[in-house]
Structure 1
Amino acid sequence: MLRIWMVLAIGSTAHSSITLAEELYSRRYYDKATTYFEPSMGYGDIVALEAIMLQVSFSFFNQLGPNTWFLVGTAARLALGMGLHCDAAYQALSELDRVRKKRLFFSIYMMDRLVSITLGRPFAIPEDDIDVTPFAIESFEPLDNDPGVPRSFLCQLPMAVTAHILRLRKIANDIATRVYCKRIVSRCSTGDRQEILQSLHRDLVEWRQSVPFPLPNLYLRVPQGCMSWYDLNFYTHLITLYRPSPLFPTLDVSRLNVLAEAAAMAVRHADSMHMQKRLSFNWLNMLTLYNAVVALVYSVTVQPQDIATAIERSRAIDDLELARGLFTILSHKFSAATTIGNMVEQIIDRYKSMSSS
């Protein structure tokens, strides 16, 4: 019963995060599910882990229960205690159990990387401790093919999208490790640093170019069902790669221009997803949009030419107005979005006065 109520709660709150509909039903479903959490802990580690992960999924959209950071850490420690990070844990299992448990582990891995990088915190699962091969979500017909749903002979299966997202989380992990870890970066020469930047950039380009196509026939409002979601994530990861970091604390003009374009495109694709009614107005996307705005303002401010010229050439005002509109919508759910939106409005006013003077 826990799974049923949590799936209903997650589906309801995820839908509401896009439509901004009242979340009365999702709260009711979640409250009903909470009555089964404690009993579920007595059914073994796998059931307990699934219960925690369902809470993590719910917390992405609704902060009614425990915070996401705490839940992801709890799930990660439980998974490590079960040995799911080790290849040996899967050797004696049937193929069905092996695939299921690997998918469970990779789900935790993706949640950990997403939440930790968004919040700027250490990973709960150290990369060096992971010994799972292959590092990929394997297809498995009995799990991937729903006999109750007509199978498309043209589109990819939905699991292809999940596997592709895992690749993105691995690239994000590499960016966090190779770009932001001072201990590693301090040993790199200037040439090494440039090679790291170019290598990770190539990884992101290859990831974007290899998006499963045609995309699966997902529910109309599922964000991953449109190409704009992949564009948005490509540009937001470019922002993370090119903004000032231990790898390159100071940006030259070429890197600054890449950052400026990535930030502008991230805002535009977020707005495009909103226009397609596929943008989820959750706290993760609020922080992502905020980071894009900060990168955009930074890239305009530190351009070598005068700021009025930079504003004119970059279309920064138009992009910031798009961001302000999105923060206005986010303010219906998050009070912090109101503060950010007001800040963006002040920047727009300042830019307009500079460009007209």
Structure 2
Amino acid sequence: MPNSSDCDPGVSTTLRITRSIKRACGDCHARKVKCDGAINGFPCRNCRLAKVHCVVPDRRKRRARVSGQSSTTGEERLAIQTSTQRRVVSSEPGPTEPIAHEHDEGSSQPEVSVSHRTADAEYARQNLVEFFSQDLQEKPIQTRLTYIGSDLSTLGYLVRQQSTNQRVHHYPSSNSYAPRIPGLQGVPAPNLIPKDAFVLPPRSVSDILIGAYFQHIHGIFPIIDQKEFLTQYINPTSAPPLLLFHVICLAGSHATSTLDNTQELKSAFFRRAKALFDGRYEEDRMHMVQAALLLTWFSDGGDDVGTNAWWWIGAATRIALGLGMHRDVGPSKMLERDKRTWRKIWWCLVQFDVLVSLCYGRPQNINLDDCDTPPLGVEDFDASTGEDEVSFCIHHAKLCADISLLLRAHFSLKTQKSPNNWSASLQALDAKLAEWLLNLPSALRDRGQPTSVYKSMLFLTYETALIQVHRLRLPSTDDIPSMDLLDNDRICIEAASKILFIFEELDKRSALQKCWFCAPSALFTALVQVQAQLRSDNPIISLQAQDKYASGLQILQRLSQHWLMAASVWRLFQFGPRTDDTRTTTQEVLPSIGNLLERNSANEGHQLIANQTASKQNAAEHEILTEEREWINFLSFEEEQPGDVHIQPNRWEESSSEWQSLYWRDSLGGLDLQQPDPPRSIP
């Protein structure tokens, strides 16, 4: 593409006068905001206001440019990006000494640049050329990679003409990449990432949150490479990816019991992480998959379609499939450590997809028929991982994979049209789950062994799947043997009892914070089954269900301290339309039970009635709880007291004009419109 200066020297001179000097500090460059350091001297105004180090990346000596080449090569651009991407912004005041200007040797004039959009478009145009210009056979995958797709894709077809190994699906990406925040032609790029996304909590707070995450959550879902992250976090010369730092602190806020204002902490970290995620701040797309999975630990209101677990798991699935995480990376040139992390992330994503599908009754995003990633094995975990954690991860992933395949094969809309198919589907599912149960290690399968948290969480998924499948009823069940229906009812009743027992054990161990997003749904499923037993005509069955029902409501109330969905379910059972029917049925059953017992022993009968009355009084006490609970309400945007703040105060609040420019500077800024007040920020 010919240079515009070759065509019209006059125009070139004019453009050189109006263009700005291409020199920005690392902080402004990472956030894609205008830096005035090249004009007014370093440190720039943004860094002085933020009280952070104003670091100017080292500039490489460039070779002479020929006509038609862009001013910066892909390698140089990647080096600059890498130098700033790996640094977490410090909250301590930075140096105030000005940094000297740097110019290329032999250059008498400061360097000028074209607009960001022109340069980014040029990199995008050269993407395929640079990809096929590299050594696809021997070059290792160190940073970004390219998944060439299935054999149907044109890119895969072209690569197969050069590659001798037909089993390789992942290749190193070229150094060109799409920009995180595209600029506008002739207009400064808007700052789409709020500056408070780069604010870190005090080290004492982050130590607690990160420790809580790895203690309570990481062992169940090893989404993060623990050794690598902690090494970067502890080492003063390095820093973990900022996006992963925020989402880990978010999940740690969910699990910790040390701090009081955990909901405010979760909200603050969620805002920061979401801003970085939406702004595509992290250049490693694997980090985006990890972050999306950990963002499921935040309940963002009652919308379960455009946000919360369903939304984030869908986003993680799209990114993972685009990266080719569903394909075997064994034959590729990826580092062995990254291969192990890759497999663990993928199978965590499969588990999340199955669990959220069961939770909401929606189609799965992942079809395992298109996946050839090897299942998890002991070799995928290092020596620091406990035996219970390894067994849980391997067998829970296998359970979710079996459920996924069974639901697609036997419980789709097409297979539910015939009662015969429905009976055969139940038999196939029971046989597969029985096979999974028999293949469990004795420590997990033997009911005589002490119940661990990992064993409880494993069977929580197993029992929930049993209820949700066996309680299904077709519109026409005349052709189904009555014995099969009775067997299904017995399976559902027993599974509901075991689910309630599991939650009671978790509550005794103070381990409810270990539960993931689908735990309220599992308890909801069990309580619905128990509520049906309360309305049974058999007084014995109704009496047995009464204690289970009261215990389940108590646990649901405590679980709602961690999950907003649990609060919604608790209120449904307390104030829902069917609550009065349940109470009426219980009141009708109790006198009949008393009459039966009076025939044998009046004293025992009176004692049982007294116990039931006490249970009813306890249930009534639970109803008198405060309507609006602090952890259920939406967070208030009112000013907080300084003593209640655990996150470091926003460092930009002292300059309202700069803070306002973060949100309202865009390409329409020249229009004469009344701008709204800048949004408040909760530290």
Q: Same-fold call, TM > 0.5?
A: yes
Indicate yes or no: 2:547 matched with 1:318.
yes
Q: Aligned pair in 2 of structure 1 residues 351, 178: CA closer, same or farther (>3 Å)? A: farther
Structure 1 pair 229–242 and aligned structure 2 pair: CA distance change class (3 A): same
Give the CA deviation at 1:175.
4.5
Match of 2:432 among 192, 195, 200: 200
Distance in 2 between the 1:204 and 1:291 partners?
22
Give the Cα–Cα distance (whole angstroms) in 2 for the partners of residues 190 and 37 of structure 1.
43
User: Is 2:585 the counterpart of 1:350?
Assistant: yes
Is contact 1:330–1:337 with CA below 8 Å preserved after alignment? Answer: no
1:235 aligns with 2:463: yes
Cα gap change, 1:224 to 1:94, in 2 (>3 Å): farther
- Equivalence for 2:600: none
Match of 2:378 in 1: 139
Partner of 1:84: 325
* 1:53-101 CA distance string (max 9 Å, x none): 3323x33xx33794221111111112112222123x5421343232222
1:120-269 maps to which residues of 2 (within 5 A)?
A: 120-132=361-373, 134=374, 136-140=375-379, 144-146=382-384, 156=387, 158-186=389-417, 192-193=424-425, 195-203=427-435, 205-206=437-438, 225-245=453-473, 252-269=485-502
- Give the structure with higher Rg (CA): 2
Q: Which runs of 5+ in 2 are unaligned?
A: 1-241, 593-683
Letter of the 1:113 counterpart: V
Amino acid at match of 1:166: A
Matched, 1:23 2:263: yes
1:292 to partner: Cα distance = 1.0
C-alpha separation between the residues in 1 aligned to 2:369 and 2:476?
24
Q: Are the counterparts in 2 of residues 232 and 269 from structure 1 also a CA contact under 8 Å?
A: yes
The 1:161–1:288 alpha-carbon spacing in structure 2 relative to 1, beyond 3 Å, is: same
| 1:257 to 1:288, Cα distance in 2 relative to 1, 3 A | same
Aligned to 1:7: 248
Does the CA-based 8 Å contact 1:311-1:355 persist in structure 2? no
Contact 1:317–1:352 (CA<8 Å) still a contact in 2?
no
The answer on whether the counterparts of 1:113 and 1:123 sit within 8 Å (CA) in structure 2 is yes
How much has 1:285 moved relative to structure 2? 1.9
Q: Which residue in the other structure is 1:63 paired with?
A: 300
**What's the CA shift string for 1:187-230, capped at 9, x where partnerless?**
7557734531430341453366655599xxxxxxxx97354333
- Conserved 8 A contact 1:8-1:29: yes
Distance 1:184 1:207, change over 3 A: farther
Report the AA paired with residue 523 of structure 2.
Answer: L
Q: Is the 8 A contact 1:263 1:293 kept in 2?
A: yes
Which among 527, 531, 549 is matched to residue 297 of structure 1? 531
**In 2: Cα distance, 1:38 partner to 1:27 partner:** 16
Which is further off, 186-195 or 117-126? 186-195
Partners of 1:283 and 1:45 in 2: how far apart?
Answer: 24
Q: Give the letter aligned to residue 51 of structure 1.
A: A
Question: Which residues of 2 match residues 261-280 of structure 1 at below 5 A?
Answer: 261-280=494-513
Q: Determine which structure has the larger helix proportion and give its number.
A: 1
Equivalent pair of 1:296/1:316 in contact (CA under 8 Å): yes
Q: Percent identity?
A: 18
Name which of 291, 310, 313 aligns with 1:51. Answer: 291
| Structure 2 counterpart SS, 1:254 | helix
- TM normalised by structure 2 equals 0.43
What whole-Å deviation, never above 9, does each CA across 1:20-65 have from its counterpart, x for those lacking one?
8642333333344345334544514323323323323x33xx3379
- The DSSP-based 3-state class of the residue aligned with 1:91 is coil
Q: Distance in 1 between matches of 2:428 and 2:476?
A: 11
Provide the TM-score with structure 1 as the length reference.
Answer: 0.77
Q: Distance in 1 between matches of 2:452 and 2:475?
A: 31
Q: Which amino acid in structure 2 is aligned with residue 36 of structure 1?
A: L
Asked if the contact 2:293/2:316 (under 8 Å) is kept, the reply is yes
1:291 to partner: Cα distance: 1.0
- Rounded Cα–Cα distance in structure 2 between residues aligned with 1:190 and 1:227: 31
Residues 121-155 of structure 1, C-alpha deviations (whole Å, 9 max, x = no match): 000112322222x3x213347x6234xxxx8xxx5
